[in-house]
Amino acid sequence: MPTLRSATAGASPAATPSPAAASTPRGVKRRLTPGRAGESPATSRHTSPHRYPHADTAQMRAVKEALHVATVPSRVFEFCKACVEQQKAGSLYVCGCPGTGKTLSINKIKDSLVCWADEVGMETPDSLAINCTNLANTSEIFSKILGQFQNRKKGSGKLSPLQQLQSMFSNKESAPRRMMLVIVDEMDYLITRDRAVLHDLFMLTTCPYSRCILIGKHLAVTFHAYSKDQISDIIKHRLKVLEYDVFEPLALEFCARKVAAATGDMRKALGVCRSAVEVLEARLQDSSDQELGIVKFDHMDIALSKVFKSAVVDSILCLPQQQQMVLCALANTFQHCKKKATTLGELNRSYIEICGSTQVPAGFMNLGQSKEDKLRRVTLQIDISDIGFAFKENRFFQKCMEQPRC
């Protein structure tokens, strides 16, 4: 997830806490409430969990939305709302590794800000998106911003675009009335030896009558992958707005540990959590177990297995059935008979036994009678656990992998 850093702490309005988060005491949270599919939350909240094992669809939808990677970061949205409400300029930059959702988050905030302004009857702020990779030179960014005001105020040709903006935002009569959201993407390209362009850009928001809400997206920082604690804290923060518990603590810790150890990608952690909720939702529809009102360790295990399935597992699943059965024969020999290698003759015998026990034809080719061929050494070049994992959900291959005689 991107990291928020305020560039004008003194002048920028502070974000206000979410009312839902503030009014929900931790100690009184409930589990996901069972209820009839399609039933309103108000009705299903009082339904006995012994009677209706189906998940409350409104609650499930709320959980998935809270865990969605495109959910608007509340601090940034509240910051922009406060700027519009108070008619004050402000600036911040959002930084993070490539692919952590900076552009997606900011675009979502831009759309949400327009909807919010329409709902409350305030003047909709203008918006300007600038990708710095498309600028001929770093100073051209001021021309782009000035161009948004040219149809309202005509500047002097004797002044540079930066000077015209500074003059416009320093005088009440010349200052624009409407706020403008300026989104600067790939802000690293504005870095010069003296940092003058970056300095002047952010200083525009400190002018007394400035109407710019400046959001810069920044990459030129060395980032570490998210740690287990950071992943866990971010997920818990997103779920604060809900009035019920969603994850068993052990399940959430399992997800955080696994993702942190593998990639440290916050988007992947959110995807795993959403998948675990869907696993729970499917179980609730098929079971009358009243204890299924919360995501448990086994739900999270299934979700993690789907996300972190290796390329080897995908290859195994794409093989023809006869080749998959040969792999089962190898896994039997190496796993149950405690061998690290076998011969072609032993493998053929194990394969034929599996075919016989499962009533599957042993194929259209036979191993020759040559002793040299039968004694050829056979080893496995993949992890045995990958074979077991690939066939974890398949009863047929589970039967194939039953312990043979050694």
Structure confidence by residue, pLDDT tens digits, 115-143:
999 999 888 888 899 988 888 888 899 99
Question: What is the structure's pLDDT at 17?
Answer: 38
The sign of the CA dihedral 231, 235, 236, 238 is positive
Give the CATH fold of the 3-218 domain. Rossmann fold (3.40.50)
Question: What is the structure's pLDDT at 150?
Answer: 66
> Distance between CA atoms of 263 and 271, rounded to whole angstroms?
13
Residue 18 in 3-state DSSP?
coil
Question: What is the structure's pLDDT at 294?
Answer: 86
Digit-coded pLDDT (tens) for 311-348:
777 788 888 888 888 888 888 888 777 677 888 888 88
Assess whether pLDDT exceeds 70 at residue 27.
no
Among candidate residues 27, 92, 50, the one with its CA nearest the CA of residue 244 = 27
Question: What is the structure's pLDDT at 98?
Answer: 62
The strands making up 180-185's β-sheet, listed across from edge to edge, are 3-6, 90-95, 212-218, 180-185, 126-131
Query: Regarding beta strands 180-185 and 342-343, do their DSSP bridges make them parallel or antiparallel, or are they unpaired?
Result: unpaired
CA atoms within 13 A on the CB side of 145: 32
> Distance between CA atoms of 30 and 291, rounded to whole angstroms?
13
The structural domains of the chain, with segments of one domain joined by +, span 3-218, 228-308, 312-400
Confidence at 97, pLDDT banded by 50, 70, 90: low
Residue 64 in 3-state DSSP?
helix
Assess whether pLDDT exceeds 90 at residue 203.
yes
Among candidate residues 292, 283, 296, 256, the one with its CA nearest the CA of residue 272 = 256
Assess whether pLDDT exceeds 80 at residue 282.
yes
Question: What is the structure's pLDDT at 94?
Answer: 81
CB–CB of 80/126 below 8 Å? no
The type of residue at 82 is A
The type of residue at 90 is G
Mean pLDDT for all residues in the chain: 76
Question: What is the structure's pLDDT at 380?
Answer: 80
Looking at the domain that runs over 228-308, which CATH code has it been given? 1.10.8
Q: Which of the given ranges, 41-50, 60-69, 144-153, 375-384, has the highest pLDDT on average?
A: 375-384
Assess whether pLDDT exceeds 50 at residue 170.
yes
The top-level CATH class assigned to 312-400 is mainly alpha
